[in-house]
Amino acid sequence: MRTNQSINAPPESSMTKQYRSLCTRQDLIRSAAEVIDRSGFAESSIVTISSGAGVSTGGLHFHFKNKQVLGEAVELAAAQALLFITGGVPLRHPAPVQLLIDASHALVRGLAADPVLRAGFGLGRDATWQGVVNLWEQWQDWIQLVLTVARDQGSLAPEVALEGPVSAITAVVAGLEVLGGKDEAWRSCRVITQFWQLLLPGLVTEAVLGGLIPEGSPAMPGAADVSWAPDARLQQVCGVA
């Protein structure tokens, strides 16, 4: 009697195979992000990326035709993470400036914790990269729209022109992303809080100022919520805690 376990085991379902394939794809995206974040796009090796994901180079090319396509997948995953942090632009949000403060804190935390988000933003300033999206433009556009909502609600000081704060907020977060590559202390709640403490008195009306929390409100996403992660449906199959 043959007792070979592989013979007696039930065949793997097509759905399980699909999930495992998606898990491998997620592993490759994360490994690529880590390598790109560390070395830049041009110096990122397919061999290093595939090795980091525990996949052969042939397996990598099964999922991604070339390094450019893999880089685009990293960028799109980072864009999804940024969209989770910002959400849409709530035209009737009761506190749009606080929403912006909270999002900036969440983004800085995400840049510290999540290599996919970090690599996506890093590609935006990589001279060797030609991508499909620009996360810095996505972030800047969202700031512009949220401050427009705040202005229309009468939250901004009358003399404030949007161009100044939009540029300042974008530039500060961009600077923290770059400086944090050398010293993680730059990607901290303390630093972004100090920025808001300086900016808010000249940005909003006195009536609004007293109700704002530069440190971020209790409603802002937690650290575990702002990092890119595999789809929740894959967690059991992929072994993600």
Domain assignment of residue 5, yes or no? no
> Is residue 48 assigned to a domain?
yes
Structural domain contains residue 128: yes
User: pLDDT-based confidence at 92, cuts 50/70/90?
Assistant: confident
Residue 122 lies in a domain: yes
Domain count, the chain: 1
Q: What is the mean pLDDT of the chain?
A: 86
Residue 95 has pLDDT above 70, yes or no: yes
Instruction: Compare 17 and 173 and report the one with higher pLDDT.
Output: 173
pLDDT at 82 over 80: yes
Angle in degrees, CA 95, 226, 193, rounded to 5: 55
Whichever domain contains 180, its CATH number is 1.10.357.10
Which of 91-100, 177-186, 196-205 has the least mean pLDDT?
Answer: 177-186
User: Residue 214's domain spans which residues?
Assistant: 11-238
pLDDT digits (tens, 9 = 90+) for 32-43: 999 999 999 999
pLDDT of amino acid 220: 67
User: Cα–Cα distance between 136 and 126 in angstroms, integer?
Assistant: 12
Q: Which SS3 state, helix, strand or coil, does residue 106 take?
A: helix
With a cut of 50, say whether residue 114 has pLDDT above it: yes
Spatial CA neighbour of 203 closest among 157, 163, 168, 161: 157
